[in-house]
């Protein structure tokens, strides 16, 4: 029996709670939901939250911010760099939407691979975390080809899958980047059937709890036309952003991707891959060479 099937069985037996095999404090706490600061999850099958408390973020491991050379992460402290300005613009638009509707969890996806969804998700999360009042989560939910842990040069596990399967607490699955408000939830230990894991009740309950912990939660997911993962996650999140690549993504693929999402909760489309000269001309009015 797979670990996912086993976890489903244990969850059903426990009334929706996945017990942590090794209690974190020796007092029988389960999966981060026991006594103390981490809250209590009702055993009723009608429970709609895990009751994760913001105080658990104080227990998250802090790691140095040392991105891999090939990560293409932006330096948001350099305000005159055009790519950084583009992500600040995207951040501003999403923050405005947040004032109009409940919007805290966002899925970043694309029709096909290599269109820039991970690049967009990571840099948008950094831009949001750059605001002092924002606690931001960056989750790697592309369980088939996770890469975020490589970009930040951190361990893949423990992470999301380990938490859902009851192998660690939520705090243990997270990492916090030193000197920032950004928390990272890596993919975790590989599983044979990612879609089955994402469809577990614990995943749905986690999405319900995240707005109580983070101002924004941004998720990198697989491409829409290559698996059903992003479609499922889009039904759990408050909104979905579709990333396309100029000169690469076809109109037919965009249509098929939008149809697969049923156009529900689609916040907009990000066009990636613009030529530097096109972006530079956009900002020369505001920034002179002498500045």
Tell me which fold the domain 78-283 belongs to.
Rossmann fold (3.40.50)
What's the confidence (pLDDT) of residue 51?
83
What's the confidence (pLDDT) of residue 84?
82
Enumerate residue ranges in the chain where pLDDT < 70.
1-48, 76-82, 263, 274-291
Contacts of 29 (CB under 8 A, 6+ apart): 20, 23, 35, 36, 38
Q: Let me know: does 204 contact 232? Beta carbons within 8 Å.
A: no
Tokens of 4: 């996912």
What's the confidence (pLDDT) of residue 8?
47
Q: Tell which phi-psi region holds residue 36, choosing left (phi > 0), alpha (psi between -120 and 50) or beta.
A: left
What's the confidence (pLDDT) of residue 132?
72
Q: Let me know: does 35 contact 8? Beta carbons within 8 Å.
A: no
For the chain, which residues make up each domain, given as ranges? 78-283
What's the confidence (pLDDT) of residue 25?
35
* Cα distance between residue 114 and residue 69, in whole Å: 18
Q: Let me know: does 140 contact 149? Beta carbons within 8 Å.
A: yes
Tokens of 261: 């999402």
* Cα distance between residue 118 and residue 106, in whole Å: 13
Q: List the beta bridge partners of residue 137.
A: 183, 217
């Amino acid at each position: 029996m797979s670990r996912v099937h086993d976890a489903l069985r244990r969850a059903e037996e426990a009334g929706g709670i996945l017990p942590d095999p090794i209690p974190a404090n020796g007092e029988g706490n389960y999966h981060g939901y026991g006594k103390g600061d981490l809250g209590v999850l009702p055993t009723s099958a009608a429970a709609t939250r895990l009751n994760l408390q913001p105080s658990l973020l104080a227990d998250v491991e802090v790691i140095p911010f040392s991105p891999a050379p090939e990560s293409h992460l932006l330096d948001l402290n350099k305000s005159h760099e055009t790519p950084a300005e583009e992500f600040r613009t995207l951040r501003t638009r999403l923050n405005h939407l947040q004032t109009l509707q409940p919007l805290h969890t966002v899925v970043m996806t694309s029709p096909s691979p290599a269109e820039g969804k991970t690049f967009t998700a990571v840099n948008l999360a950094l831009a949001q975390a750059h605001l002092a009042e924002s606690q931001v989560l960056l989750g790697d939910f592309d369980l088939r080809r996770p890469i975020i842990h490589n970009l930040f040069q951190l361990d893949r596990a423990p992470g999301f899958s380990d938490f859902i399967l009851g192998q660690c607490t939520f705090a243990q699955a997270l990492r916090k980047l030193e000197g920032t408000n950004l928390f990272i939830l890596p993919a975790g230990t590989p599983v044979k059937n990612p879609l089955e894991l994402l469809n577990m009740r614990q995943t749905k309950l986690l999405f319900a709890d995240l707005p109580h912990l983070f101002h924004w939660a941004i998720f990198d997911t697989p491409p829409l036309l290559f698996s059903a993962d992003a479609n499922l996650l889009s039904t759990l999140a408050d909104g979905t952003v579709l990333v396309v690549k100029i000169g690469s993504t076809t109109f037919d693929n965009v249509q098929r991707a939008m149809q697969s999402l049923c156009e529900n909760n689609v916040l907009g489309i990000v066009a990636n891959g613009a030529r530097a000269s096109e972006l530079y001309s956009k900002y020369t009015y505001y920034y002179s060479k002498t500045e």
